[in-house]
A = this chain, B = another copy of it.
Amino acid sequence: MTSPTRTGTRPGGRSARVRADVHRAVAELVSAQEDTLTLPVVAARAGVHPTTLYRRWGSVAELLADVATSRFSGDVVVPDTGSLRADLERWAASVATDVADPEVLALMRAAIGAGEVGACACRGDREEQLAAMLERERVRSGRAPTVERAVDVLLGPIYFRAVLTDRPGTPEWARGLVTLLLPE
């Protein structure tokens, strides 16, 4: 009746544990290059009954989208050094390092293969993080690149190399991208 409860949804306790186990199982199986990623397989790995997965997620695509969402919307601390360039360099290097991890990369590829929802989930909060840093600079100096430009120049190449290449970019390379956005 009031607000928080509604019609008993139940996010804690065993449900949360099952959810965590399933997510971990997906991550493990996906990074192991298993070509047979099905709900029963995930269930067996997670020590959960397959029926649970069918009821909670319905399909592999939705499960992958959910896993990707909760993996990439982690609470990342946005750098705040006082200098936009330094912030962006640190942030870009951090993103490049993250997506270069084989396990993360495998999850991204799988989520992308699951459809548009899963694909978009791989960006996580990164555009908003970028927007936050740029907004701070705008308050500070009155001038800053648009978020759109920053996404194109930083996120574009980093994700491209990771996802569509067999050689993901290094953190140092990612730092160098900032020069394209902020001519010295």
Contacts and interface: CB of A to CB of B under 8 A. Distances in A.
Contacts of A33: 115
A161 interface: yes
Interface in A127-184: 151-153, 155-161, 163-166, 177, 180
Size bracket of the A interface: 20 to 34
A19 to B, nearest CB: 21
**How many monomers of this protein are in the complex?**
2
A110 interface: yes
Interface string A96-119: 000000000000011011111001
A143 B127 CA distance: 35
A116 B112 CA distance: 12
Interface of A: 33, 35, 59-61, 109-110, 112-116, 119-120, 122-123, 151-153, 155-161, 163-166, 177, 180
